[in-house]
Amino acid sequence: MSTEILDGLAAIVNEVAGVPVADVQPDKAFIDDLDIDSLSMVEVVMAAEDKWDVKIPDSEVKNLRTVGDAVAFIEKATA
Amino acid sequence: MSAPIRVSPSTEFARIMSVGSYRPERVVSNAEVCKRIDSTDQWIQERSGIRERRYARADESVCDMALAAAVVAVERAGISPAEVDTVILATVTHPYPTPSAAAEVAFRLGTAGAAAFDISAACAGFCYGVAMAQDLIRGGSAKYVVVVGVEKLTDWIDLDDRSTAFIFADGAGAVVIGPSAEPAIGPVVWGSDGEQYAAISMTQSLIDYRENGGERFPTLSMQGQTVFRWAVSQIAIAAQAALEKAGVSADDLDAFIPHQANMRITDAMIRTLGLPAHIPVARDIATTGNTSAASIPLAMDRMLSSGEVAHGGTALIIGFGAGLTYAGQVVHLP
């Protein structure tokens, strides 16, 4: 798993929702563990789209349950 | 050979002369809303910024609320109702496809048979109306136009639906738009994205309800994440374009009055726009809820009445909602 993407995502989650960077680990679920609500999740997704120049459609967002899911999606999309 | 036709003399500029609003009496707290949905006051405030909202009485119609706001606006404009020659009413909750709510309001307001029609542009409706009013005046078809935004959303929402019940509410706001010696309403930036018609729509048509029955009367449904993303990205771009077309920078604004959709959308739009922190931003949603077409004039009236923003100040207004539709412009406040 790309630590660069994980670090970038952690920075975004920190900026959007104030979650400490160290808490943003691959096994953590956005909603259940990090307390990111549905609207903050949209902001995280939009920031990720800008940062990595990828498209993450709304239909895909619900599949990104954990931080690891999101990192994997971005890895695949930028590969 | 075609006979020569005389055309209306045009007027160079138009302005918002006054604003009036009507808030239903009954205050509905988050605690009361939560009797019907599985939620909490804290959850609602965190997701939407809404603390309370107003609900109209059962016997209080869209036209009643529209009239109440229009009467105040006409009084404040210092004109007589008979001078109003056009009534444009923006709503999506008038329960009759025909006749229009505008015709009833024009009559009850005491106009001398003003031209009257409704527009259906949901939460963008008020800004659509402002754009049309300005063009009617500049084109010589009208002199004093009443533009009303009014909704009785409580008739069309499912109070047991936890994704919408806490958001929507009732109210009305109106402005009088008339001739001006100087430019006071900037070019409108508007449009639609019908590909996303399902993002905010009704659960079924009234005809389907009649033909197929079922237990559920049609109600408003919304894909919150889709709307949020669209508003924060595309609408912020439209807002920026409205500023550019008017030749006004964000620094020059005295107020930002976006449709009161959700406090989180407003906050995200401020960030995307890079709006300077000292500019007052309408946050009427906290005590009014989302009143769709009514939200901008309601918020405008509150900001002016409370002294938060001075009369004559420059404001960016922008509405966005079902359709999807949007419209925004820079205006001088009455």
Let me know if A59 is exposed, middle or buried by CB neighbors in 10 A (0-12, 13-18, 19+): exposed
Contacts of A58 in chain B (CB under 8 A): 223, 225-226, 229
Rounded Cα–Cα distance for residues B161 and B155 (Å): 13
Q: How many CB atoms lie within 10 A of CB B267?
A: 15
CB contact under 8 A, A45 and B47: no
B272 burial (CB, 10 Å; 0-12 / 13-18 / 19+) is: middle
Top residue of B43, B225, B227 to mutate, by most chain A CBs within 10 Å, is B225
From first to last of the 334 residues of chain B, give the pLDDT tens digit. Answer: 899 999 999 999 999 999 999 999 999 999 999 999 988 999 999 889 999 999 999 999 999 999 999 999 999 999 999 999 999 999 999 999 999 999 999 999 999 999 999 999 999 999 999 999 999 999 999 999 999 999 999 999 999 998 899 999 999 999 999 999 999 999 999 999 999 999 999 999 999 998 887 778 999 999 888 899 999 889 999 999 999 999 999 999 999 999 999 999 999 899 889 999 999 999 999 999 999 999 999 999 999 999 999 999 999 999 999 999 999 999 999 9
* 8 A C-beta contact, residue A37 and residue A74: no
- The reply to whether B63 belongs to the active site is no
Active-site residue flag, B30: no
Spatial distance between the Cα atoms of B68 and B16, rounded to a whole number of angstroms: 18
> Could you give the ipTM of this predicted complex?
0.81
Cα B9 from Cα A41, distance rounded (Å): 54
Name the CATH superfamily, with its identifier, for domain A3-78.
ACP-like (1.10.1200.10)
Give the model's pLDDT for residue B91. 98
- pTM metric for this prediction: 0.93
Which residues of chain A are within 8 Å of residue B40 when distances are taken between CB atoms? none
pLDDT at B216: 83
pLDDT of A1? 72
Q: What single DSSP character describes residue B99? A: S
- Nearest Cα neighbor of A55 from A26, A77, A40 is A77
How many angstroms away from the CA of B28 is the closest CA of chain A? 24
> How many residues can be counted in chain B?
334
**What is the number of CB-based contacts under 8 A between chain A and chain B?**
26
| B232 token code pair | 């924060």
Residue A76: count of CB within 10 angstroms of its CB? 9
Share of chain A above pLDDT 70, in %: 100
- Which class for B300: exposed (0-12), middle (13-18), buried (19 or more C-beta within 10 A)? buried
pLDDT of residue B29: 96
Measure A58 CA to nearest chain B CA, in Å.
7
Partner B contacted by A57 (CB < 8 A): no
CB contact under 8 A, B229 and A46: yes
pLDDT score of B89: 98
| 3-state SS, residue B26 | strand
**Structural domains in chain B?**
13-180 (3.40.47.10), 189-332 (3.40.47.10)
- Residue B311 catalytic? no
- Residues A7-53 have pLDDT tens digits of 999 999 999 888 999 999 999 999 889 988 888 899 999 999 999 99
The reply to whether residue A37 touches residue B47, judged by beta carbons under 8 angstroms, is: yes
Spatial distance between the Cα atoms of A44 and A28, rounded to a whole number of angstroms = 15
Chain A environment of B229 (Cβ under 8 Å): 42, 45-46, 58
B193 touches chain A (CB under 8 A): no
B105-118: buried (b, 16+ CB within 10 Å) or exposed (e) per residue?
Answer: bbeebebeebbbeb
Mean pLDDT of A64-69: 93
Select the residue of B223, B233, B264 nearest A39 (Cβ to Cβ): B264
A-chain CB neighbours of B224 within 8 Å are 38-39
- Return the pLDDT at A62: 85
Q: Which amino acid is at B283?
A: R
Q: Are B139 and B260 in contact (CB under 8 A)?
A: no
Query: Which residue among B94, B262, B290, B332 is the active-site one?
Result: B290
Note whether B162 contacts A: Cβ–Cβ < 8 A: no
Chain position carrying tokens 């005389």? B6
Q: Write down the pLDDT at residue B192.
A: 96
The two three-digit tokens of residue B19, written as one number: 């604003």
Can you list the alpha helix ranges (DSSP code H) found in chain B? 30-33, 41-48, 62-77, 101-109, 125-138, 206-212, 224-230, 236-246, 263-273, 285-288, 295-305
Q: Mean pLDDT, to the nearest integer, of A59-72? A: 91
Distance between B48 CA and the closest CA of chain A, angstroms: 10
A79 near B CB under 8 A: no
Question: By C-alpha distance, which of A14, A72, A79 is closest to A43?
Answer: A14
Any B CB within 8 A of A36 CB: no
Q: How, if at all, do strands B145-152 and B170-180 pair?
A: antiparallel
**How close, in Å, is residue B235 to chain A by CA atoms?**
14
